[in-house]
Structure 1
Amino acid sequence: MANFAKSRVPGFSVDVYQNEFLPEGGREVSAIVTVTSTGGGTSGGAPLSGVSASPAGIPVSAPSAAVVIMVDCSGSMDYPPQKMRNARDATAAAIDTLRDGTEFAVVAGTHIARQVYPESGGLAVAGPGTRADARNALRRLSAGGGTAIGTWLRLADELFAGAGARIRHGILLTDGRNEHESPAELHGALESVAARFTCDARGVGTDWEVKEVTGIASALLGTADIVADPAHLAADFTAMMENAMGKEVADVSLRVWTPVGVEFAFVKQVAPTVEDLTARRTEAGPRAGDYPTGSWGDESRDYHLCVRVPEAGIGQEMLAARVSLIVPAGDGGTPQVLSQGLVRAVWTDDLASSTAINPQVAHYTGQAELAQVIQQGLDARKSGDIDGATAKLGRAVQLAEASGNADTAKLLSKVVDVVDAATGTVRLKAKVADADEMTLETRSTKTVRVKK
């Protein structure tokens, strides 16, 4: 088992955690790849005019950013009336959090998408005057009409297309189901805007569909959450905008190269949330594929990589995969490599070495299972399968206890009565508040880092 800290470029590092030892005939190699960005005012793309670049070619300048806030203004936002008022206040709080120079716009979403600010179209540039004008424009946000979220996303994409910013981020709020367009229409909109901007999605109240909101955030590499009480919207919007303003490097991809004979199994983000990236691969030359990770600030994320190597004899070793952090070149040329890490395979007849499971791999395998069994348990509960729901949610309680995921354990305790957490013995609660069930489902993919 090894921790290989690889070459560093200012701002990013890649660390690989794995048990590289395989028994004779062993083929499956798993590794946890930890990517850490230390920020430092870096930004993807070409340096701005008059701005110097680091030795790695990354400009050392505050990044340009564009933000579009999409606010649900369907008729249901008027029940109760304070919900719409809370949404206006939250949008104003987000606008106040914008960094000077950030391009921004506000969109009112119903069965159509309508730009509320700036009225002239395009994006405004954040400053004292435009913030004040935008706050005044929010008075025109009123409830009435249906819900067609795909139209909101397409308008946001049009607005971003006219911006020069590398970091493009949306904030989307809804309180109901996407009833005025088909699932296929929403899916088509998500496919058309994916990789063009990131988006955080929030559901307010308890009348929205969790899978719709989490699906939007997943497709657009953002976060999803519930704000059950509309009074908490302003704090949540402020936190989302602060996080968006902290992003410094855009359009980062995880590039995985494998040698001849190595089969690719999967790559998943496993912290801070579980997100399967396997199907999002775009080819990047012979035996290499890129997986999108979105924009980065000062943060760290973990990825689980699995490959299958050819069988080999005792004492042989090979490079199983090379993992690189990539950003596109500003002029459309060769992408920049920010950092790299190596995944190895070594065949041994030492039983203790070849059967040991790396702690990071074991931990995140459990966290991925935790997210899966919560979803399966809640689906079973909704369908009336009491035994199935009890078994799956009991396993979830057991996994949360073993991994120290206290937040998820607390959410589970509002859906089941825990008899014995260590064995996963639980009883389903007879009555569960909608907000508690939806919160558990929405936050089921949130993970905790491995204990050091």
Structure 2
Amino acid sequence: MSAQPQFSVSVYQNEYLSDGAAEVNAIVTVTSTGTPAGPSTARAAQIVMVDCSGSMDYPPTKMAAARQATKAAIDAIRDGVPFAVVAGTHVARMVFPGTEYLVPADASTRAAAKAAVDRLTAGGGTAIGQWLALADRLFTGHEGAIRHAILLTDGKDEHESPPDLDAAIARCEGRFTCDCRGVGTDWVVAELRRVAQGLLGTVDIVADPRGLAADFEAMIGNAMGKAVADVRLRLWSPQGASVKFVKQVAPAVADLTAKRVATGPLAGDYPTGAWGAESRDYHVCVAVRPGTVGDEMLAARASLVMIDSSGQASVLGQGLIRAVWTDDAALSTKINRQVAHYTGQAELADAIQSGLEARKNGDLDTATAKLGRAVQLAAQSGNEDTAKLLSKVVDVEDPATGTVRLKARVADADEMALDTRSSKTVRVGKGSKN
């Protein structure tokens, strides 16, 4: 039996509102501790989906690197964890095992899987929704396990329509998590971002195929370290109040608002996926009835809930989001440090994505304004990694004011790296709650 982590929930907010104000903002920090370092012993299941379309042979180093990375992933799977390898083209087919089921990892099955991977060749098109559908079928029967998939592609999802892909993602939501990687520069960031956001995973570029093996190994290692399969943020708000949005804001921005599942007339669950030893921050915004000076209310109760294999829920931790109306402007106008920081980080991600889209569409004025604002926000928040990525797309004249000039020539890999990593955030210190 795996050691169960201990969860804590902390709320950071300025609870004081001005007369008539009707919106409450808070950062809910969830921290999981107590899990052993290294691999977990929790039930898990793993699938690797490898793009085998014709473009993977141009250059041939891509296909060779994909084979090597998949074998590295297989070696990193914990003994006893059921796994499979899927080849993706305009259809999805089993690489290992030969039929649609998962087999436990051991020395024999790993060797057989790696031998099958060595025989992979490139040919055909790309239909990512088909790959996801096969992974979904393979995970059937493993509902109590921590279900994780890796999806690698090098090209556009050209053999199905966007609604087809969206429908496939929707069917897989809540079924498994999926980390997506694009190799080279001919794939579409927005497509993989849709998969990753829908399936609570990550998306990144591996511009140089030689970096694939280490990346695959790290993703498997992270998945093998998870100890709890299905954790949800449950928000209860009183009659007359409603949750406007819920966003994960650290370690990356991810909007969970549309994923709400009602658990009663006044409560709803937002999925957070599997957990190991880690900490994440969530921005919760609640609309309340406008109050008058002297009014106080509980705007929301944030509970962390674990769902077991039978569907039963147990509360792991809880925090309260309050609202107090005051005529003291010094109190009501003070912006909580955590709320301000993460509001800026969310704006930073949006500014980068909007700026790159405008640049692609030839709207250079908007691109300059948006990317300049991104430079300013990155500087203000100390997000040095994003600032470095931005400097490869724009010439920075003054980071404090966001004065920039678009570079005349930008490498595709640099632009795509900025786009895929735009949602990664830096954390703010938690010195005080206000």
Give the TM-score range, shorter chain. over 0.9
Aligned position for 2:55: 76
Aligned position for 2:373: 395
| Matched-pair contact (CA < 8 Å) for 1:101–1:127 | yes
Letter in 2 for 1:399: L
The within-5 A match list for 1:421-436 is 421-436=399-414
**Amino-acid identity (%):** 67
Aligned position for 1:265: 244
> TM-score, normalising length from structure 1?
0.92
2: CA distance, partners of 1:120 / 1:320: 52
Structure 2 residue ranges without an equivalent (≥5)? none
Q: Cα offset for 1:100?
A: 0.9
Letter in 2 for 1:385: D
Aligned position for 2:299: 320
From the superposition, tell whether residues 107 and 399 of structure 1 become closer, same or farther in structure 2 (CA, over 3 Å): same
The within-5 A match list for 1:359-370 is 359-370=337-348
1:181-201 superposed Cα distances (whole Å, 9 cap, x missing partner): 111111111111111000000
> TM-score, normalising length from structure 2?
0.96
1: CA distance, partners of 2:89 / 2:372: 40
The within-5 A match list for 1:6-45 is 11-40=6-35
Match of 1:253 among 216, 226, 232: 232
2: CA distance, partners of 1:267 / 1:397: 25
Q: Cα offset for 1:375?
A: 0.8
Letter in 2 for 1:149: I
Letter in 1 for 2:25: S
From the superposition, tell whether residues 143 and 269 of structure 1 become closer, same or farther in structure 2 (CA, over 3 Å): same
2: CA distance, partners of 1:164 / 1:219: 18
Question: Is 1:150 matched up with 2:145?
Answer: no
1: CA distance, partners of 2:323 / 2:409: 51
Q: Number of matched residues?
A: 425
Match of 1:309 among 284, 288, 291: 288
From the superposition, tell whether residues 375 and 287 of structure 1 become closer, same or farther in structure 2 (CA, over 3 Å): same
Aligned position for 2:329: 351
The within-5 A match list for 1:102-141 is 102-141=81-120
1: CA distance, partners of 2:36 / 2:265: 33
Match of 1:241 among 184, 204, 220: 220
| Matched-pair contact (CA < 8 Å) for 1:174–1:202 | yes
1:240-298 superposed Cα distances (whole Å, 9 cap, x missing partner): 11111111111211111001111321111111111111111111012101111111111
1: CA distance, partners of 2:367 / 2:32: 40
Q: Cα offset for 1:163?
A: 3.0
Question: Is 1:88 matched up with 2:83?
Answer: no
| Matched-pair contact (CA < 8 Å) for 2:5–2:227 | no
| Matched-pair contact (CA < 8 Å) for 2:9–2:28 | yes
Aligned position for 1:416: 394
1: CA distance, partners of 2:263 / 2:413: 43
Aligned position for 2:355: 377
Aligned position for 1:163: 142
Aligned position for 1:277: 256
| Matched-pair contact (CA < 8 Å) for 2:243–2:286 | yes
Letter in 1 for 2:278: E
With 362-371 and 279-288 compared, the bigger mean Cα shift is at: 279-288
Aligned position for 1:47: none
| Matched-pair contact (CA < 8 Å) for 2:206–2:212 | yes
Q: Cα offset for 1:40?
A: 2.2
1: CA distance, partners of 2:136 / 2:96: 15
Structure 1 residue ranges without an equivalent (≥5)? 1-8, 43-60
Partner secondary structure for residue 231 of structure 2: strand
Partner secondary structure for residue 232 of structure 1: helix
1: CA distance, partners of 2:143 / 2:237: 35
1:307-331 superposed Cα distances (whole Å, 9 cap, x missing partner): 1222223222110100111122333
| Matched-pair contact (CA < 8 Å) for 1:261–1:309 | yes
Question: Is 1:341 matched up with 2:341?
Answer: no
| Matched-pair contact (CA < 8 Å) for 2:144–2:308 | no
1: CA distance, partners of 2:7 / 2:142: 27
Letter in 1 for 2:190: K
From the superposition, tell whether residues 39 and 173 of structure 1 become closer, same or farther in structure 2 (CA, over 3 Å): farther
From the superposition, tell whether residues 192 and 10 of structure 1 become closer, same or farther in structure 2 (CA, over 3 Å): closer
RMSD (Å), alpha carbons = 1.4
Partner secondary structure for residue 284 of structure 1: strand
1:132-189 superposed Cα distances (whole Å, 9 cap, x missing partner): 1111111221100110111110101111003365200000000000111111111111
2: CA distance, partners of 1:262 / 1:90: 49
Partner secondary structure for residue 217 of structure 2: helix
Partner secondary structure for residue 371 of structure 1: helix
Partner secondary structure for residue 264 of structure 2: coil
Aligned position for 1:448: 426
2: CA distance, partners of 1:329 / 1:417: 51
Aligned position for 1:218: 197
